[in-house]
Amino acid sequence: MLRAWIACGMLAVCTVATAAESFPYLAFVDGDDAQALAGPGKNYYATGRLSRGELVEVYRHDAGGWCAIRPPAGSFSWVSSRFVKLQGEGVGLIVADGAVSLVGSQLADDRDVWHVKLARGEEVEVVGTVRTNFGVWYKIAPPAGEFRWVYTKQLQPLGEGDEVPPTHAHVQTWQTAADAARSPHGPASVGQECEEIDLALSTMVCKDCEHWSLEGLFDRAESAMAAARNGDERQAVRKVTERLRRFEEIRHEQAALDKSQALAGRGDSKSKSSSGAAGSTPLAPAVVSVGGGFDGRGRLVPVEGGGKAGAPRFALLDESGGLLYYVTPSPSVNLRAYVDKLVGIYGTRSYNAEAKAQQLTARRVEALSETKAR
């Protein structure tokens, strides 16, 4: 599940927030060695370099002084071909559940981080194909809700009335387009309206599900479809509508999970997990404060019934045996070496809709002593 990450003690972030009253806002790169990363932390791989003066669009502030930005020009992601059926030149259709968008890099072959799960029936823009030892992969344009991250100190918000820094030609074009999108006269075309709906959706899904208000966006999409004059415009509306439906499904799934947790109660979930291994039935995630810079910390155990294809095989439990996360390893991580140990995990947190629980994709694992884990 995509969610806003609450930051505490973020002085650098608060400085930027003062200059930007609302999201998204434009900022320019103020540094010579700035890079866009696959996640909010130095442990994530770089996806591309940013030039001094280059404009970026900031959608939220994450813990540790990181800004989530719209993927810059040239950004791309990857999806396995087994989940995609090509519909024509440059268009692919997601045909199976379990597809994720892996964040691509212009600087290396890294592709082990994902933040967005693609829904069956969703269309993606295919821009390339690569054959590897692990099968065929399609390079796609980053889907809605997927971001890149830049350290706050490397950005300067673009103030009202500021001139666009004279860098690349596309920057001025982007500024002009952004100004047009904010025009009180509304969008000039169905295509522009679809872009505005997509931007509004990307901003909205940065918040917790309970704060999503998709109805208005569905109404705008319906009006856009009525105004569409040709096949290209109707296709653009269908594409943004499918994205809206995907996040609507996520909202319903989260609401159902919240309801089941409220009925089960914390005491009941703890007793079910006291055996020391996570069962096949998802438990209510425990609320903990994770220190030491880890994205998850607790005891790693195998999951009963985890041998099924696609099912979680490991889980992270708190001190009382409550489920914190289901855990999946990145290709280079061997989780079996840490079974039944107290560990700290660096990785990517997401929502597993099938298991109806929080999930952590481990990129690095550290064994902790009993004293250090407390």
Instruction: Provide the residue ranges of all domains of the chain, joining segments of one domain with +.
Output: 1-70+147-182, 77-140, 274-373
Three-state DSSP state, 336: helix
**What is the average pLDDT score of the chain?**
75
Confidence (pLDDT) at 364 = 87
Sheet holding 135-140, edge to edge: 84-88, 91-94, 123-132, 135-140, 77-80, 100-103, 114-117
Which residues, given as ranges, of the chain have pLDDT below 50? 1-21, 166-187, 266-291, 307, 309, 372-374
Confidence (pLDDT) at 188 = 54
Would the pTM count as exceeding 0.85? no
Its sign, for the CA torsion 256, 297, 150, 90, is negative
Confidence (pLDDT) at 213 = 81
Q: Give Cα 142 to chain centroid, integer Å.
A: 10
Confidence (pLDDT) at 229 = 81
Rg (CA), the chain: 21
What's the CA gap between 31 and 54, in Å, rounded? 10
Confidence (pLDDT) at 2 = 32
Annotation: CATH topology of 1-70+147-182: SH3 type barrels. (2.30.30)
Confidence (pLDDT) at 46 = 94
242 half-sphere exposure, CB direction, 13 A CA radius: 16
Confidence (pLDDT) at 268 = 44
User: What's at 295, amino acid-wise?
Assistant: D
Confidence (pLDDT) at 283 = 37
